[in-house]
Structure 1
Amino acid sequence: MGQAFEALSAWQVMLAGLLFFGGIYLVFGAATWLLTRHILPALGIGQPLDPRPLAPGQLRREFAQSGLSILLFGTGMIFPWGLLQLGWARLDPNAGWQQITLEILALVAWNDVHFWINHRLLHTRLLRRFHLPHHRSVVTTPFSTYSFHPVEALMLGNVIMLPMVLHDFSFWSLASVPLFSLFFNCIGHANYDFFPKVSYAHWFAASRRHHLHHACYNGNYGFQFTFMDRLFRTRLGAQAAERQLDAYRQREAGAGLRGPA
Structure 2
Amino acid sequence: MARVFEALSAWQVMLAGLLFFGGIYLVFGAATWLLTRHVLPALGIGRPLDPRPLPAGQLRREFAQSGLSILLFGTGMIFPWGLLQLGWAHLDPDAGWRKILVEILVLVAWNDVHFWVNHRLLHAKPLRRFHLPHHRSVVTTSFSTYSFHPIEALMLGNVILLPMVLHDFSFWSLVSVPLFSLFFNCIGHANYDFFPNVSYAHWFAASRRHHLHHACYNGNYGFQFTFMDRLFGTRLKADAATSQLNAFRQSARHDGRT
The CA deviation at 1:131 is 0.1
Deviations 1:73-97 (A, max 9, x none): 0000000000000000000011000
Between the aligned partners of 2:49 and 2:64, the Cα distance in structure 1 is 25
Runs of 4+ in structure 1 off by over 2 angstroms are none
Establish whether residue 249 from structure 1 lines up as the match of residue 249 from structure 2. yes
Amino acid at match of 1:95: A
Deviations 1:182-231 (A, max 9, x none): 00000000000000000000000000000000000000000000000000
The CA deviation at 1:55 is 1.1
Between the aligned partners of 1:59 and 1:252, the Cα distance in structure 2 is 23
Q: Which residue is equivalent to 2:204?
A: 204
Establish whether residue 215 from structure 1 lines up as the match of residue 215 from structure 2. yes
The CA deviation at 1:105 is 0.0
Q: Which residue is equivalent to 1:162?
A: 162
Between the aligned partners of 1:250 and 1:127, the Cα distance in structure 2 is 36
Between the aligned partners of 2:228 and 2:178, the Cα distance in structure 1 is 20
- Local SS of the residue matching 1:39: helix
Between the aligned partners of 2:118 and 2:55, the Cα distance in structure 1 is 26
What fraction of aligned residue pairs are identical, expressed as a percent?
Answer: 86
Between the aligned partners of 1:23 and 1:88, the Cα distance in structure 2 is 29
- Local SS of the residue matching 2:41: helix
Between the aligned partners of 1:33 and 1:237, the Cα distance in structure 2 is 27
- Local SS of the residue matching 2:256: helix
Q: Which residue is equivalent to 2:97?
A: 97
- Local SS of the residue matching 1:240: coil
Q: Which residue is equivalent to 2:23?
A: 23
- Local SS of the residue matching 1:51: coil
Between the aligned partners of 2:70 and 2:124, the Cα distance in structure 1 is 25
Between the aligned partners of 1:17 and 1:167, the Cα distance in structure 2 is 22
The CA deviation at 1:242 is 0.4
Establish whether residue 234 from structure 1 lines up as the match of residue 234 from structure 2. yes
The CA deviation at 1:11 is 0.1
Please show how residues 82-161 of structure 1 align to structure 2 within 5 Å: 82-161=82-161
The CA deviation at 1:256 is 1.1
Unmatched tracts of structure 2, length 5 or more: none
Aligned length, in residue pairs: 258
Q: Which residue is equivalent to 2:73?
A: 73
Q: Which residue is equivalent to 2:35?
A: 35
Q: Which residue is equivalent to 1:54?
A: 54
Between the aligned partners of 1:94 and 1:36, the Cα distance in structure 2 is 40
Q: Which residue is equivalent to 1:11?
A: 11
Between the aligned partners of 2:254 and 2:51, the Cα distance in structure 1 is 16
Unmatched tracts of structure 1, length 5 or more: none
Q: TM-score, normalised by structure 2?
A: 0.99
